[in-house]
Amino acid sequence: MNAEDGDQASRTAIGISFGNSYSSIAYTVDEKAEVIANEEGDRQIPSILSYVSGEEFQGTQAKAQIIRNPRNTIAYFRDFLGKSFKEIDPTPCHASAHPVEIDGGKSVGFTVQETEEGEKSTLSVSEVTTRHLRRLRQSASDYLGKDVVATVITIPSDFSDSQKSALTAAAKAAGLDVLQFIPEPISSLLAHDAKQQLSESSSGAPKDKTVVVADLGGTRSDISVVASRGGIYSTLATVHDYELGGSSLDQVLIEYAAKEFMKKNKNATDPKSNARSLAKLTIEAENVKKALSIGQTAAFSIESLSDGIDFSLTVNRTRFELLANKVVASFGRLIQSAVQKAGLDVLDIDTVLLAGGSSHIPKLSSSMQSIFPESTAVVAPAASASAVNPSELVSRGAAIQASLISEFEHSDIEGSTEAVVTVTPHLQKALGLASGKDGEQFSLIINADTPVPVRRTAQVSVADGGDVLLRIAEGEREIKVTKEEKPQTNGAKGEDDSDDDSDDEPEEVREKVWKAGKVLAEAGIKGVKKGGKVEIQINVNTDLSVTVVAREVGGKGGVRGELEATKA
């Protein structure tokens, strides 16, 4: 049989989401991305390695070792890759193996008892990463029954070049060829759009929209504001918070549980003061938090928490939401600051896509819904039925990208990612039609921040028929604030109404309005039928010249004109 002869070039490529807290692996079947579970059945695989009497454990098994064997357990190492010892923040590693200086402080390592007896060994972060990626690759290869050799890995949007090259090297040592690094928020958005595309079974490009992708992770949160235009993504702004994440919410539960424990057991030692008790609390708090995202109540139960006393406590969701209020509010502020950084208003945002493990929390999506206007779609499992599991978004996006480019040569990928990306001009202002009496009103055809070249078509219905003037203009978005008078309550000043008087201030109504700016061209269409429609197509070319084609729907001929390119 020589069927295999011709197909040597095709590689098995997977998507890997490599996080500080969790990693996951995904691949595509029939254009649909699937997240692969490892041999333990986990789709979210803890990024943790542990050494117990000469044996290596990873994932959930290693996580359990944080309690009994913390110093030989390595966790939260992703962000240390490619950094010097001075640059890192070792706080998350407090409960496990502490990072140490190696290479004279140029990089970071961990000292663990790797073998059953003898000297402790110091593993560099790259070595740890290699071992972790090797295991991920093994799990994917076992599942797929094919040797996985290539991958697309997601990275935070602020990963430096030295971090990227360190990750490339670590992946190579693990037998993985990195086809491309893609930013986590863009990966999530790709996965979301792909899902949307499948469910709507539309063949065209996704609608133009401005999206906030909030990647709420374990130990950090990253927010990106992305302009999605015809399925092409441009990042407008990013913000990062390296302290806010799911672990901040765990902390809230830890504090609460510890307080309750001390109340019940007056003479016991504070479980937070003992490393092992604290580790037990930390792991249980995360489990309780996850359970509260699904159910209304969850129970802490820890055997021998402190001084040999067992502990059990039931927490309901309302209680947790009250405790978590502050942290949730900080998530809200972080997201608003990103929108501000992009020079936008919350009214400009069409979609808020919540990604990352913490996005499962129902309270978070409801608080997003209250920050953004009703027109904004909040995509999270608690807020929309079609949402993809937020823990899986990142790895799914990577898998989709991996399947798209697995056939390409390295040089092709590099060529496409360098020259092409950086040189794309984006429209500064929106383009559309000016209408109304004094040409003040504006209907949008091409939104601002759209990369060129671009082509968009719009239809204008002409109820009265006759000759029509199309005025192509640039448009500007303004936020109109109107004070709305509260409707006066009819006379009767009831005694029990007195509470309402406190918020008697007129409510501010903010809305987005388009104003026509500079007129670029006028086109006349003559003799349109009554109730007919006029189709207008605007082409912005790479050199920023504009071609306009307008004609009556179903009619012949039409008007065609061209605008000269902008002079630099």
Nearer to another protein, 31 or 243 (CB): 31
- CA–CA dist 551, 519 (Å, integer): 20
Q: Which of residues 490-509 bind another protein (CB under 8 A)?
A: none
Query: Of the listed pieces 39-47, 309-317, 323-331, 514-522, which binds another protein according to CB under 8 A?
Result: 514-522
547 contacts: CB under 8 Å, gap ≥ 6 = 538, 539, 541, 560, 561, 562, 563
Nearer to another protein, 71 or 426 (CB): 426
Q: How far is the CB of 233 from another protein (least distance, A)?
A: 4
Query: Of the listed pieces 100-108, 158-166, 383-391, 524-532, which binds another protein according to CB under 8 A?
Result: 524-532
Nearer to another protein, 98 or 518 (CB): 518
Residue 376 · residue 271 · CB < 8 Å: no
Query: Among residues 32, 264, 326, 560, which is the contact residue for another protein, using CB under 8 A?
Result: 560
142 sits in which H/E element = helix 125-144
The upper half-sphere exposure of residue 502, i.e. CA atoms within 13 Å in the direction of its Cβ, equals: 3
Q: Which of residues 180-219 bind another protein (CB under 8 A)?
A: 180, 182-183, 186-187, 190, 193, 205-206
Residue 388 · residue 361 · CB < 8 Å: no
Nearer to another protein, 364 or 548 (CB): 548
Q: How far is the CB of 135 from another protein (least distance, A)?
A: 26
Q: Which of residues 398-427 bind another protein (CB under 8 A)?
A: 400-401, 404-405, 415-417, 420-427
Query: Among residues 71, 114, 168, 231, which is the contact residue for another protein, using CB under 8 A?
Result: 231
Query: Among residues 234, 287, 297, 301, which is the contact residue for another protein, using CB under 8 A?
Result: 234
Q: Which of residues 424-453 bind another protein (CB under 8 A)?
A: 424-429, 431, 435-436, 449, 451-453
* Coil vs helix vs strand at 348: helix
Q: How far is the CB of 43 from another protein (least distance, A)?
A: 22
- CA–CA dist 302, 313 (Å, integer): 9
168 binds another protein (CB under 8 A): no
CA 80, 83, 86, 92: dihedral to nearest 10 degrees? -10
Residues facing 149 on adjacent strands: none
Dump strand ranges (E) for 463-567: 466-484, 507-528, 532-540, 546-552, 559-563
Q: How far is the CB of 310 from another protein (least distance, A)?
A: 50
DSSP state of 78: G
Q: How far is the CB of 26 from another protein (least distance, A)?
A: 15
Residue 357 · residue 44 · CB < 8 Å: yes
* Count of residues of this chain found to bind another protein when the rule CB under 8 A is applied: 76
Residue carrying the six token digits 């968009």? 456
Q: How far is the CB of 364 from another protein (least distance, A)?
A: 25
Q: Which of residues 348-407 bind another protein (CB under 8 A)?
A: 397, 400-401, 404-405
Residues facing 32 on adjacent strands: 29
Nearer to another protein, 23 or 187 (CB): 187
CA 154, 377, 211, 425: dihedral to nearest 10 degrees? 140
Q: Which of residues 8-67 bind another protein (CB under 8 A)?
A: none
CA angle 204, 210, 211 (to 5 degrees): 100
Q: How far is the CB of 157 from another protein (least distance, A)?
A: 10
